[in-house]
Structures are given as C-alpha cells and as structure tokens.
Chain A
Amino acid sequence: MAKPQKKYTGSSVFNTTPDAAQRKKYCRFKKNGIKYIDYKDANFLLKFVNDQGKILPRRLTGTSLKFQRKISQAVKRARHIAVLPFTGDMIK
C-alpha cells in the first residue's frame, strides 16, 4: 500500500488531468466532518464504486482507512437491499 504522501501517477477515473494528478488527495469524510455513511443513499455511494459496481480503492479516492471500512460496509449493505447492484456495466 502506498503511503499518504506518495502520489499515484497512473491513469484513473479520479485523476484525468495532469493537474489533478499533482493535487494532494484528502479524506472527504474527515474534511467535511461526516461521521456516518448511510447505506440507503445510493447516489452518495455511487461515488465510491466504479462503472462495474466495484468498490474503489482508497489509493484512488484518498479516503482514510477508518472511513474506507465504513464505505465498504455501507456498499455491501446497499447491495443486499438492492439499492446498489452487485455488478453491471455502466451503472452510473
């Protein structure tokens, strides 16, 4: 796993421009003071899955480990109650 200060330089859905690739990633939950991730909110959870419905690694999203665990839990719950699909192409 990469350390926080190391930058991921490969192409990704989050870093499409060279400028964005240079910017420091941050955890949006810590920054915005979000403490609970609602598993019933499909639109919010869609930010953390790719087009196939897979959970994005925190290498790409910048989420801290604490909240990555919560995202993972929330996405899995959402899949169970058919709020998110288990798989699919172009789900967004």
Chain B
Amino acid sequence: MATKTTKSTKVESVVLNNYESVIIFTPVLSEEQLKDAVAKYRKIITENGGELIHEENWGLTKLAYPIQKKTTGFYHIYEYKAPASFVSTFELAFRRDERIMRFLSTVLDKHSIQYNVRKRNGEFNQGKNTIKPQEAKK
C-alpha cells in the first residue's frame, strides 16, 4: 500500500468477499433488545470496512432441537461484503455476546450470490424447481 495515499486506498485495495451470517438470538429478548442487538452487528459490519447487502429476519422460529434448553429463537441473517479478516472479528463478537445462542458464517460463491438475488426478487414463490430460460443455458 502506498504511504502517501493512506486515506483513499484503504478501502479500494482490500478485496471484499461475500459472506452470509445466520445468528440465532435467545428468545428471552424483548422486541427492543432484539432491535438493539441487530443494530449493533449492523454497525460492526459497516464500521470494519464491510458493506451490508441484505438483511433478513425470520422472527421467533421453532428450533429443530433445543439449544441451551430453549426451543425457539430469533433468526437473523446478514448478507454482506467484507475483507477476509473481518469474519474472525465478527465471530469473536458473537462468542462474547450472551444473547446469541448459535451462529454460522459462510462464504458465498457466485451461484449462491445469484440465488440470493433471485430469492430477494421473489422468483422462488412458485417452487424451487422453476428456472428462467436464460438460466438453463446448458
């Protein structure tokens, strides 16, 4: 990195990857507390050189098996772009937070990015197996 242009090159020179983090918050949180927690992690993403692409909240959802003796949880999904080193700091924040019961961060490849875009546009409401003509090129 060039020393004289410290201000502008910082963001541009770093390669941003696409990631997705699913977080399960404990169900004992109130509406207000959940909002705070969600806003906190949104802030962490943007403050550490990442950019938020999409957020999804499933609300109070039943778990397939109990975690910490709770049978429900608030699911929240962040889709974001960030430098590779960011994920470890993000996950460290999850581990320190007692409101979070479980989390999972995954890298998104080109197919999953495309899938998420199409999902957001509501193309999957008819069923999973419907494909658009330009998708089926093979």
Contacts and interface: CB of A to CB of B under 8 A. Distances in A.
Nearest to B103: A81
Given A40-B22, A80-B104, A34 B129 contact: yes
Interface in A34-92: 34-36, 38-42, 44, 77, 79-86, 88
B115 interface: yes
Interface residues of B, number: 24
B71 to A, nearest CB: 10
A81 B23 CA distance: 8
> Interface of chain A, helix or strand or loop or mixed?
loop
Interface string B119-135: 10000000011010001
A84 B24 CA distance: 14
Interface in A1-50: 28, 32-36, 38-42, 44
A82 B104 contact: no
B128 A82 contact: no
Contact of A40 (B64, B77, B138): B77
B22 A82 contact: no
A49 to B, nearest CB: 11
A32 B64 contact: no
Contacts of B119: 38
Interface string B1-25: 0000000000000000000001010
A-B residue pairs, 9 tightest by C-beta: A82-B63, A35-B111, A36-B111, A85-B64, A36-B115, A33-B136, A36-B112, A82-B64, A32-B129
Interface of B: 22, 24, 63-65, 67, 73, 75, 77, 102, 104, 106, 109, 111-112, 114-115, 119, 128-129, 131, 135-136, 138
